[in-house]
Amino acid sequence: MERFRTQSLVPRRKKQKGIHSATFLSSYEVKFSELVIFILERKMGVTRRTFLMELARRKGFRVENKLSDSVTHIVAENNSGAEIMEWLNVQKAGDHARFKLLDISWFTACMEAGRPVDSERKHQLMVNYSTTLYTPTSEPSAFPLVTVSQYACQRRTTINNYNKKFTDVFEILAENCEFRENEGHCLAFMRAASVLKFLPFVVVRVQDLEGLPWMGDQIRGIIEEILDEGESYSANAILNDERYKSFKLFTSVFGVGLKTSEKWYRMGLRTLEEVKADKALKLTKMQRAGFLHYEDLAGCVSKAEADAVSLIVKGTVRTLFSDALVTVTGGFRRGKKTGHDVDFLIALPGPRLEDELLHKDLLLYYDLVESTFEKAKLPSRKVDGFDHFQKCFEIVKLHHQRVDPSGSSPSGESEKKEFKDWKAIRVDLVMSPFEQYAFALLGWSGSRQFERDLRRYAMHEKKMMLDNHALYDKTKKIFLKAESEEEIFAHLGLDYIEPWERNA
């Protein structure tokens, strides 16, 4: 970077407190008129700001001394996105979404290159970009305003999805990327689907996406294709792709993940029948149970079945520990009517769950995973990090009476056909100490995108680290205690979101 003498830029006479130096009148040629920079003085100081403004003008950039309607890029140093948004609110700057909020690193890169550089995620501050939307088909005055944040933890998303035809496509695209371990594209599709699930109206034109976060050119192109053609050719191609179909089938088996699916696919296996027929394969105990009860486990668990399993689990736990807390988590806690398994969080007064709870006649399979938690360990920096609780993955035999479609009871003497009076249900038990219960409950309630954005928000906006065990304030260097989910949201400065509003 070029070096400049600063003596002429610094006022020789001591300024009075609170009075800024006069605007520097530039006579330099503006080479890059498509962007207008405003450098935020906050946490920077007058002298450094003045020097940087002069430097940018010498390089051909247009720099405004005051925030105005012409400003396109705001540059800040040592400020979080939340702090800049707060400052903009004080300035009554109107629609914040029109600004690109960038770290000083972007400005430095521009000065070194002598031209504007890409202002994408590398330099862009993590900001709650929001916009005001109206229901597209109606008059603005007739509908309440809706604020759309880039963070799912600031959006109240119920199970009412008005844009399912779009989100179904993005979930197929995301799943295919996950099968191929393409994390970046998978996340982009999941974020787009999450925003669309939140919208209280049906998207009927591309213009309805204006100002929404995570709606890049690729996402908009897919939505436009669905609007014009009624379908996505990319999604259709994936659904007919042999690799995708094989991975989808293999991972539907309890105990089979991506690595095993990749191995089987490379071996030339394409169907479950081929897998079971291959005598050279050594299946794990979990996978053998998955194949044995595949018909039940591959189907959906209803809310009624989840409630029945809940009675069994709660009754068993409280027989052994009368003061234990047992809570259904996952999708059923968020108000979903169906799921693939039933998750429970159990908070115990003692150190851990005893084996005697696990050896019951109703258990078809169980796998106990011991806790690996270290008490002094800081929360994970990964937004998708695994926790360290003791867990038990089970298949439970749920008894019920099936009724013959003809209306006759299977118990009738004349009935020749045998009826299976039970169903295999997947159940996950997570054991948490009382002091970590609130964090575990929040983490295991989901949804996945909600939890990911909650941790991302904590890190980027509040300089905190959150996981299923604890919340740590990096600035104060202390762990923040919480006895409820509400207290965790309060620590983060967020409005409390009910579980049924976390279906992101």
Which residues belong to the annotated binding site? 341, 343, 428
Dihedral sign, CA of 359, 364, 365, 370?
A: negative
Which of 103, 208, 296, 343 does the annotation list as catalytic? 343
Q: How far apart are CA 136 and CA 142, in angstroms?
A: 11
Q: CA nearest 42: which of 90, 97, 100, 111?
A: 90
Told to judge if 323 belongs to the known catalytic residues of this protein, a careful annotator would answer: no
Q: How far apart are CA 496 and CA 390, in angstroms?
A: 28
Strand partners of residue 464: 473
Which of 103, 208, 341, 467 does the annotation list as catalytic? 341
Told to judge if 278 belongs to the known catalytic residues of this protein, a careful annotator would answer: no
Torsion of CA 281, 287, 291, 293, to 10 degrees: 160
Q: Which two tokens stand for residue 502?
A: 């976390």
> If DSSP codes are grouped into helix, strand and coil, which group holds residue 361?
coil
Question: Which residues are part of a known binding site for Mg(2+)?
Answer: 341, 343, 428
Q: How far apart are CA 83 and CA 79, in angstroms?
A: 6
Biggest distance spanned by C-alpha atoms of the chain: 108
**With contact defined as beta carbons under 8 Å apart, do 214 and 191 qualify?**
yes
Determine whether 9 is exposed, middle or buried from the number of CB atoms within 10 Å of its CB (0-12, 13-18, 19+): middle
Told to judge if 387 belongs to the known catalytic residues of this protein, a careful annotator would answer: no
282 CB-near residues (< 8 Å, 6+ apart): none
Query: What are the φ and ψ backbone dihedral angles of 118, each rounded to 5 degrees?
Result: -55, 130
- Which amino acid is it at 83? E
Which of 168, 367, 428, 473 does the annotation list as catalytic? 428
Residues forming the active site? 341, 343, 428
